[in-house]
Amino acid sequence: MSKVRIRAALACRIAGLDRVKFNDAVSNGSYPCAPHTMKGSARLFHEEDLLPLYFFARLTDLGLPASVAGPMSCQIATESRLENAKHNDRITFVKGVYGSFFTAPTARLLNGEVKIQYDPDHTKNGTHYPGVGPVLFTIDFYVNHVRKIIADAIDVERNTFGEEDDAE
């Protein structure tokens, strides 16, 4: 991803998110992975910061409250940055009766241990997930598709309006 820096208004436009909804989520702590800023300064996003913002917008579009969508979106971004994550085109959120976890199709290490991998045929294969209980549902997040959507939108903005001035 490029080193471009994008102001919050443009970031929200690219993500298809109402800026007031974003500001409310940041101010009440529902969206904990917003880039930090100092009072009176513009909030600047790097291209990679748009990934959780885009998922936050989609999850809230589906009706999830910001208090659920924000942390989930931030966790997706964290998962996408883990070792070997660039080889995965999607990240799966698995919700069981007693707990949940994020996983990706390609095994990867987390703190020296292999991270849990979800088996979509777990009931047929007898796979169990300790602490999660019976799986209720999964959600697939197609990370590489969203990265491409974001990159294309940035290119459109760049070609339409030119580069933003970072002098502020």
Check residue 168 and give its pLDDT: 41
Q: 167: pLDDT confidence band, cut at 50, 70 and 90?
A: very low
pLDDT of residue 98: 92
Q: How far apart are CA 12 and CA 153, in angstroms?
A: 11
- The candidate with the shortest Cα–Cα distance to 161, out of 1, 49, 47, 14, is 14
| pLDDT value of residue 107 | 53
Q: Which residues are CB-neighbours of 52 under 8 A, at least 6 positions away?
A: 33, 73, 74, 76, 77
Express each pLDDT in 107-160 by its tens digit: 555 555 556 677 777 777 777 778 888 888 989 899 989 999 999 999 998 887
pTM metric for this prediction = 0.82
**pLDDT at site 1:** 47
User: Taking 60 as the threshold, does the pLDDT of residue 53 lie above it?
Assistant: yes
Residue 120: its pLDDT value, please? 76
Domain regions of the chain by residue span: 5-161
pLDDT of residue 135: 87
Q: What's the pLDDT score for residue 113? A: 58
**108 neighbors 83 (Cβ within 8 angstroms):** yes
Query: Between residues 16 and 107, which one has the greater pLDDT?
Result: 16
Transcribe the chain into DSSP letters. Answer: ----EEEHHHHHHHHT--HHHHHHHHHTTS-TTSPP--TTS--EEEGGGHHHHHHHHHHHHTT--HHHHHHHHHHHHHHHHSTTGGG-S-EEEEEESS-EEEE-SS--EETTEEPP---TTHHHHT---TTT-SEEEEEEE-HHHHHHHHHHHHHHHHHHH-PPP---
